[in-house]
Amino acid sequence: MVQHHLTTFTVFTPTHNRADTLHRVYNSLCQQTFRDFEWLIVDDGSVDKTEYIVTQWQAEAKFPIHYHWQANQGKAVAANYAAQKANGILFLPLDSDDACVPTALERFYFHWQSIPEAERQKFSAVTCLCMDENGQLVGTQFPTDIMDSNSAEIWYRYHVQGEKWGFQRTDIMREYLFPTDAAGNHIPEGIVWNAIAKKYQTRFVNEILRIYYQKHYNNAQQRRQSLASTAIKDPYGRAVWHRTALNDDLRWFRYAPLQFARSAVHFARFSLNHGVSIPVQYSELTNWLAKALWLIMLPLGLFVHWRDKSEVAKISKTDLR
């Protein structure tokens, strides 16, 4: 068995044709005040200049950069590969179009070390806040500045909203791999985080450490058409996400009934978009409350499915003109 040289952090970046934005991650890592890390890039089938640019960085960087190219198989496959190859004790995903503040790794390490050593095995992660490219907080803060909880409780009980950022222990990432039974489809990361949340705690901190570049639309119709197009082209992972919420998370129902009603709508919507029939959807739900919610919300799910198809049809007509 090969013995890996362990570092504190593996910063993992999945990328696909992002040669024009990947410099944000690289420049951020060059500026880090905490230096015990490696950068692991998994290139998911890029056909731009990504490999050329990374090769130049490898020659000049003062930290290890590992580059792996794979045929286009989706982010889930890339993340599973990275978890297996990581030399870091802590595994920190950072998207190929984002950046982080110079003290990000230092502050993450500080908060991890602040958890008493005897308690640390009960924890998998530290999670922080994000700001957008204009310096504005994305979403909402955590209820207290330092809070020990888990992703499901934070989402359902405390209704914390918006993009967040954090690391997981690498050994836990290897234990909780992303589902890849529909390779090439987007698998929402929350499926894995909520599975981990059933066993491990996370330390949540109200510090902004990541710069999250958001997609901007010219108008509401453009945004709606973009979302509908994604919902039609890539529905599988979203259907799995909402099905998992209904099957596994309903112990939180009293705190967030509307969120679960929404999941029932979207489970029907994305399942129909993926070609899954109504009887099969019913059979995929494993408890009576999930089945009842789904049945009540099915008409709305059918409507949103129809609206997705209509919006995509409009885009197709526009493209033909």
Rounded Cα gap, residues 227 and 308, in angstroms:
8
Q: What's the predicted TM-score (pTM) here? A: 0.88
Say what percent of the chain tops pLDDT 90. Answer: 76
Comparing 229 with 41, the larger pLDDT belongs to 41
- Give residue 1's pLDDT: 38
C-alpha–C-alpha distance, residues 162 and 262, integer Å: 17
| pLDDT (average), residues 243-259 | 95
Distance (Å, rounded) from C-alpha 300 to C-alpha 305?
A: 9
CA distance 216 to 33: 31
What tens digit of pLDDT does each residue of 278-297 get? 999 999 999 999 999 999 99
CA distance 107 to 128: 10
Lowest model confidence (mean pLDDT) among 157-161, 182-186, 248-252: 182-186
Confidence (pLDDT) at 182: 54
What is the band of 4 on the pLDDT scale with cuts at 50, 70, 90?
low
Do residues 94 and 23 make contact, with C-beta atoms less than 8 angstroms apart?
no
Whether residue 189 is predicted with pLDDT greater than 50 in this model: the reply is: yes
Is pLDDT at 98 greater than 60 in this prediction?
Answer: yes
pLDDT band at 320 (very low <50, low <70, confident <90, very high): very low
For residue 2, the model assigns a pLDDT of 42
3-state helix, strand, coil in the chain (%, to 5): 45, 20, 35
What mean pLDDT is predicted for residues 102-113?
98
pLDDT at 264: 98
Question: What is the arithmetic mean of pLDDT over 51-74?
Answer: 94
Contact 12, 65 (CB under 8 A): no
Q: What b/e sequence results for 144-173 when a residue is b if at least 16 CB atoms lie within 10 Å of its CB, and e otherwise?
A: eeebebbbbbbbbebebeeebbbbbbbebb
In the chain the domains, ranked by start, together with CATH numbers, are 7-211 (3.90.550.10), 220-320 (no CATH)
**Residue 183 pLDDT exceeds 50:** no
